[in-house]
Structure 1
């Protein structure tokens, strides 16, 4: 491999940072690009001061927002005070194509180990979880996956609400995404699930970071040259009723992460619900928490959707 002698770039963040850094390595062939996953910062640097010292001789530092709890000494804004050339860039969260996805467990704990792991990892179906908690059978739960129910649950608002949240959060860090979101939308479904964008999205983010740092990225599409690292994460289908709404191909299979290089496990909806119920039956009831499902169960009209499906 040819040794690189260009600018030192550090990319800090969640799993999306890996793909962003990968794209920067391609677009900037002479750059020295390193990735620092926020989950490992404490293990690698002990505290904020140690991490700041590591970053001071970097030419460019690009970071997702990370809150208190990942590194003793403060969050990314405290880090930015010690590393003034750090630039924030947005995490892409967009639930419109996959509005049923929720995390279950101690979401506020900011640790994967505190989340309940389902058939395809930490992502769960809000409908399946609520159905289980309401005592429905797998067969009754399956009947809830319909366009009429999705509309009653507000899934038809996911595009407008998701776009508003994404664009505001990006503007708040001076990284407006209005042109990019319009372009991504024309590509069809640009997300693997609500929290994992496809590679062209991360390629666009990487190019923006390079250009706005006065670097000169190659003029090419990263997806033509690189594998999509997030394909190795779990993947969520686009339910047919959702696909029809947005004019994208429907998808029918849930995909778990491959293990040791083997093929991924694929589950259709009945199998996914059955395996989810089996997981929930083994988990203490107090851990089966998701804010959206809690709100549904407190709403008499929404709860009636589930109790009626169960014949109650």
Structure 2
């Protein structure tokens, strides 16, 4: 079965080698007369590719999704990308293309510009992943895909009931865990990381994003205007002139089709935003169904059911492991769960 990358390679050669000749024979005027741009990467890369097309409608902008394992070899992939004027790529590991990852691509194609994936944890400090060590780049999936609540996982591992786990989702618990103090660390990680690793200064962009309120759907899924600003930065870095355009008018919120982790109310309040406990399930078929959501009790119950089907050794996360191992932290959380439950502090919405 061909992956998106395999199909895009075939499409690219048709666009590059076949369509111009057909246009010459038929007299058809080519619509895309600008630069050829390739975008390679993870789930954020489509948003970057789309934004670049908005920035230059005359450009041919092709998106290569590095999520599944492609049949194509790195040799064919690099040869295909040679036909592009500009190549932008996220870091990607061996296995997505046979014969190497982004490091090998850069060796074969030095014009490749590696660009950052935007991550920011301050809005969703409770979101963690559970790695599945049996699969390459694999994760244990919960009710909303790979996104897990550290608090819910802790509660399950300590044997708390769903109702007692529900009582942990309160301001006193978030305060005890340091969830209100993550903005500065998240900002430094984003700004310093993109500057030191990729040579891009996003400090002004981060300030503008924060002025707009919440700008992430999860720790790894930014909103479309974030990816638009990143695309402008990439254009300017390679000497392309971005078009002046109102992106809000043309924006496609592609990552909103995926899972959305809520911003808990007391955390949202700190940032002047509205929060809640509504967990959105992924829905990539939005043209045929509106999708579904889970309340907090439903989410916790679903987590418990899924976790019960796994060996305890498979439910490991460094942060939660540390909480469980530390008697003071574990004891504090257990006490707060009991006190909040007795006080009737079991939020749902």
- Same fold, TM exceeding 0.5? yes
CA displacement at 1:89 relative to structure 2: 1.3
> CA separation in 2, counterparts of 1:162 and 1:181?
11
Q: Do 2:257 and 2:284's aligned partners in 1 also have CA atoms closer than 8 Å?
A: no
TM-score by length of 1: 0.92
Q: Are positions 1:95 and 2:121 aligned together?
A: yes
Which residue pairs with 1:293 in the alignment? 320
Q: Are positions 1:124 and 2:148 aligned together?
A: yes
SS in 2 for 1:220: coil
Question: Given the superposition, is the C-alpha separation of residues 296 and 115 from structure 1 closer, same or farther in structure 2, using an over 3 Å criterion?
Answer: same
Aligned match of 1:64 in 90, 95, 100? 90
CA displacement at 1:215 relative to structure 2: 2.0
Residue deviations 1:130-155 (CA, integer Å, cap 9, x gap): 10000000111111111221122121
Correspondences of 1:1-312 after superposition (within 5 Å): 3-40=31-68, 42-46=69-73, 48-106=74-132, 110-111=136-137, 114-171=138-195, 172-258=197-283, 260-261=285-286, 262-309=289-336
CA displacement at 1:310 relative to structure 2: 6.0
SS in 1 for 2:107: helix
SS in 2 for 1:263: coil
Question: Given the superposition, is the C-alpha separation of residues 263 and 136 from structure 1 closer, same or farther in structure 2, using an over 3 Å criterion?
Answer: same
CA displacement at 1:104 relative to structure 2: 1.4
> CA separation in 2, counterparts of 1:110 and 1:240?
35
> CA separation in 2, counterparts of 1:106 and 1:26?
38
> CA separation in 2, counterparts of 1:259 and 1:206?
24
Residue deviations 1:33-69 (CA, integer Å, cap 9, x gap): 11111124x51422x3332212112100111122344
Q: CA RMSD in A?
A: 2.1
SS in 1 for 2:226: helix
Question: Given the superposition, is the C-alpha separation of residues 202 and 118 from structure 1 closer, same or farther in structure 2, using an over 3 Å criterion?
Answer: same
Q: Which runs of 5+ in 1 are unaligned?
A: none
Residue deviations 1:253-284 (CA, integer Å, cap 9, x gap): 11001263311211111111111111111222
> CA separation in 2, counterparts of 1:90 and 1:248?
27
Higher RCO (CA 8 Å, separation ≥ 6 residues): 1
Question: Given the superposition, is the C-alpha separation of residues 223 and 251 from structure 1 closer, same or farther in structure 2, using an over 3 Å criterion?
Answer: farther
Q: Which runs of 5+ in 2 are unaligned?
A: 1-28, 339-349
The number of aligned residues is 308
Question: Given the superposition, is the C-alpha separation of residues 209 and 110 from structure 1 closer, same or farther in structure 2, using an over 3 Å criterion?
Answer: farther
Question: Given the superposition, is the C-alpha separation of residues 97 and 108 from structure 1 closer, same or farther in structure 2, using an over 3 Å criterion?
Answer: farther
Question: Given the superposition, is the C-alpha separation of residues 296 and 69 from structure 1 closer, same or farther in structure 2, using an over 3 Å criterion?
Answer: farther
